[in-house]
Amino acid sequence: MPRADCCCLVRGLPDEYPACGDVGVLVVDTEAAFVALVDVLGHGREADALATEIAAFLRDKSGGELPEVMQALHEHLKGSRGAVAFLGRLDLPTGLFAYVGIGNISAKVFGPQPALRLGSRDGIVGYMMGTPKLQSVRIAPRDIVLLCSDGIRDNFDPLEFPGIFRGEASDIAETVLQTLAKGNDDASCLVLRYLR
Ligand SMILES: [Mn+2]
């Protein structure tokens, strides 16, 4: 039975603890895994409050078509400070990963060499963005989809960090945060491993 092992961890700046403007959403059933990672502009308590609201919004819409969900989030966030967001859905029977991204959430598939970057469109959700474009990629069993906010070093080479992808999704997320967080912004990472 194909399944997804996934985990999202967020960590705010130490002097604003426990506030964090990054938030992840995971909704997994037997057919699909919906994943989202959102970085609200700025940090601190206001960003945290908006991130919490966004998470509830996305959880509620997690069964929807991804471009429509992104568009709805854009409308919902108008007048707010805005956010960058990446939404994805892994179809468990087929391993097809569909996604749409706006702004600088980093998204990569690790497994194939070299890592495959999943592109996002420029923009800020709630402020200015082009029409969200659905893309998809087929991923193989054991592949990892890694989503990170810009509080995490983006340009790392896994070969420099032996063992970074060892263990379960929760172990990997912890290791990524501990090893690659820049320390000058809220940091978050979402790990999705496809298993079948
Ligand atoms: Mn950020």
Q: Give me the chain's average pLDDT, please.
A: 96
In angstroms, rounded to a whole number, what is the distance separating the alpha carbons of residues 127 and 12?
23
- pLDDT 10s digits, 65-95: 999 999 999 999 999 999 999 999 999 999 9
Return d(Cα 36, Cα 55) in angstroms, integer: 9
Check pLDDT > 90 for residue 113.
Answer: no
Question: Distance from the CA of 160 to the center of ligand 1, in angstroms?
Answer: 24
Q: Which of 29-33, 51-55, 71-75, 154-158 has the lowest mean pLDDT?
A: 154-158
- Please check the confidence at residue 112 and state whether its pLDDT lies above 90: no
CA of 83 to the centre of ligand 1 (A): 9
The CATH homologous superfamily for domain 3-195 is: PPM-type phosphatase domain (3.60.40.10)
pLDDT computed for residue 114 by the predictor: 85
Mean pLDDT to the nearest integer, 175-193: 96
What pLDDT, on a 0 to 100 scale, did the predictor assign at position 91? 98
> Do the bridges between strand 144-148 and strand 106-110 make them parallel or antiparallel, or are there none, so unpaired?
antiparallel
Could you tell me the pTM of the whole model? Answer: 0.97
- pLDDT tens across 14-49, in order? 999 999 999 999 999 999 999 999 999 999 999 999
Is pLDDT of 162 > 90?
A: no
Per-domain residue ranges of the chain = 3-195
Distance 192 CA to ligand 1 centre (A): 20
Does the structure show a pLDDT above 80 at 160? yes
Cα 123 to ligand 1 centroid, rounded to whole Å: 14
CB-based contact 186:47 (threshold 8 Å): yes
**pLDDT band, very low/low/confident/very high, at 127 (cuts 50, 70, 90):** very high
- Closest by CA to 99, choosing from 32, 4, 175, is 32
- Cα of 150 to ligand 1 centre, how many Å? 5
- Output the CA 185–ligand 1 centroid distance in Å: 6
* pLDDT attached to residue 118: 97
What is the helix, strand, coil percentage profile of the chain, to 5? 25, 40, 40
Scan for tokens 């895994």, then name that residue.
33
Distance 42 CA to ligand 1 centre (A): 7
Q: How far is the centre of ligand 1, averaged over its atoms, from the C-alpha of 141 (Å)?
A: 30
